[in-house]
Chains A and B, each alone.
Chain A
Amino acid sequence: MTEPMVLEPPSDAELMVRVREGDRQAFAELVDRHKDAVVSYLTRLSGDRDRAEDLGQETFLRLFRAAREYGEQGYLRAYLFRIATNLLRSEERRERRWRLLAPFLHPGRAHDEPAAALRLLRREAHGQVTEAVANLPLRYRVPLVLHEIEGWTYQDIAQELGCREGTVKSRVHRGRKQLKEKLEPYWNGGAAWKTIG
């Protein structure tokens, strides 16, 4: 008895070929495959869950429209992250012009039970970190998130951002330093400590 054939799911490259021909099913499959990564990345960059959802959807729409120009280089997710970063950058530029402030994530309050205290503290800490990251300049924020959270190498980030590896290292270092300055008072119980929500 022969073993049933296990079909390998189509690769990103194969799906993109079909998307270029207008295959919506292939496109939906790509969206399903990468949506969590894109939304998570955008949430880290923006500090705003709702905004990340909206920009995430727009990211995939741009991918669809740019399908003809897309040149397969083996890493669609990097391409998606680049689109997402550019979308966020454009939006932040517009907001600076209109003097709008981006909302921050505010963790909800847990009810007062001893077992929930630890969860509350953890969510408080996450909120502080998220807010601090969202306030970093974008040129530090992007490489820091890609390296520390998404796990990209300096080489990959440099290739993606079109700069030298040394520049990436420098920006990650400065981003880390600025975060430390913002978070240290909170962590060490200094005067700048504050709660959110």
Chain B
Amino acid sequence: MEDHRIGDLLRELPRERARAGFTPRVLERLDSRGTGRPALSWRPAAVLAAMALAVAIPIGIRYEQHERSEREAERILHELRAEHGRLEQELQEISEPVLYLGGDEDVDLVLDLSRVPEAGQAAPAAYHDDKL
């Protein structure tokens, strides 16, 4: 493609003409800006709306996350309290002392002292009957 062809192509482009009513529209815009009624441009409004959204959305998200964390923490606390209550109750039920005597992996020997008869009622282990 020869260099001069570029110039030719550009000059062959059709000349444009302003559309009908161009001048009245210019005067209308002049009036709308000149009479204290600023012509509302959508661009500043769109920019402001976008900025407001850009600020509001992260705040909303962070608030939602905070609320969720709060609820989660409350749930865990409730569970801990319930578990503590159960443990307390089990400890209460173990009202008398027990004596662990030993055992293996299958059996634990535990002496429940609450079932042991009074000292006067039981013969000592080392007592031997003279009659034998």
Q: Is the CB of B18 within 8 A of A56?
A: yes
B10 at the A/B interface (Cβ < 8 Å)?
yes
Q: Is the CB of B6 within 8 A of A53?
A: no
Q: Is the CB of B16 within 8 A of A49?
A: yes
A57 at the A/B interface (Cβ < 8 Å)?
yes
Chain B 11-50 interface mask (CB, 8 Å, partner A; 1/0) = 1111111110011011101100100000000010000000
A-B residue pair count with CB separations less than 8 angstroms:
83
Q: Is the CB of A149 within 8 A of B11?
A: yes
Q: Which residues of B contact A52 (CB under 8 A)?
A: 16
Chain A 19-56 interface mask (CB, 8 Å, partner B; 1/0) = 00000100110011001101110011000010011001
Size of the B side of the interface (Cβ < 8 Å), in residues, is 25
Partner of B10, one of A53, A60, A94, A148: A148
Residues of B within 8 A of A (CB): 1, 3, 5-7, 9-19, 22-23, 25-27, 29-30, 33, 43
21 contacts between A and B (CB under 8 A): A24-B30, A27-B27, A27-B30, A28-B23, A32-B23, A36-B16, A36-B18, A57-B22, A57-B29, A61-B26, A61-B33, A125-B9, A129-B9, A129-B13, A145-B10, A149-B13, A176-B3, A176-B6, A180-B3, A183-B9, A188-B1
Q: Which residues of A contact B5 (CB under 8 A)?
A: 187
Q: Is the CB of B12 within 8 A of A126?
A: yes
A179 at the A/B interface (Cβ < 8 Å)?
yes
Q: Which residues of B contact A129 (CB under 8 A)?
A: 9-10, 12-13
11 additional A-B pairs beyond A24-B30, A57-B26, A126-B12, beta carbons within 8 Å, are: A27-B30, A28-B26, A28-B27, A39-B16, A39-B18, A40-B16, A40-B17, A58-B29, A129-B13, A148-B7, A179-B10
